[in-house]
A and B are shown apart, each in its own frame.
Chain A
Amino acid sequence: MSSFKSFDIAGSGMAAQSVRLNTTASNLANADSVATTADGVYKARHPIFEAVRAQLAMAGANPESNPAVRVTGIYESTAPASQRYEPGNPLADANGYVFAPAVNVVEEMVNMISASRSYQNNVEVMNTSKELLLATLRLGQG
């Protein structure tokens, strides 16, 4: 039944956006996790979105009629960690430096707002689809 496809599509969008929200939450929570070495420091994580097309086409399904979006992976940012001089910190290295993750808090907040708006859009699509489907079920009843 084709009307249920809207639910799959909106559902995949919501799933993808919630992954994005999760990575943003993780990045914000670790924005101040300092480490002794540049390698050991937390790296900002970001999801990669992809429209589902090629993969389903290979499986023999109709590519245009299938949902929608998926997260193909989560990459770790390669931005260099910033050095801070904190000789009193027990994590400081021999020269008195600690390494802070290259998490841009402003960028993450913007990401969070964008993700939550997109999530809301998908919820709205799902609600409207549900209403239309229920109206279709009541067809001919009055």
Chain B
Amino acid sequence: MPLNLDQYVGVHATALDVRARRGELIAKNLANADTPGYQARDIDFRQAMARAAGDKTSGTPMSTTLTTTRAGHIGGTATADAASSPDLKYRTPLAPALDGNTVDAQIEQAAFAENAVRYQATLTFLNSKFRGLLTAILGG
């Protein structure tokens, strides 16, 4: 039975991808902490993971497909981080500023730190997976 590396690393590869995307998004929130009218965004992790897992089976990684129900419809794919992406949410502000900015630097910092720790946890999982594989190859 050949080894399927994708199957072997399992959900962690996707999780790493989504974590990296979330880190980027929070970095953007922090960079725009003083931009008037900027609305903070975040990823619904559960939804993003579910979608990524669904995409994996359909063969187009991290994409949204348009449903075609009639002959005249045009199918298409959008990348996962397009504006219309269903797992991208706006953060509910606790104390919105008068200029329309909804970034709360403390909340974003906490989210960024949490995301970083979880990213490292996923890395640890992946690392131990590879170590296990190496042990099997080298025989201890």
Contacts and interface: CB of A to CB of B under 8 A. Distances in A.
Interface in B83-116: 83, 85, 88, 105, 108-109, 112-113, 116
B42 interface: no
Interface in A121-139: 121-122, 124-125, 128-129, 131-132, 135-136, 139
Contacts of A129: 23, 27
B8 interface: no
Size band of the interface chain A makes with B = 35 or more
B119 A9 contact: no
B31 A67 contact: yes
A16 interface: yes
A139 B127 contact: yes
Interface of A: 2-3, 5-6, 9-10, 12-13, 16-17, 20, 49-51, 62-65, 67-69, 114-115, 117-118, 121-122, 124-125, 128-129, 131-132, 135-136, 139-140, 142
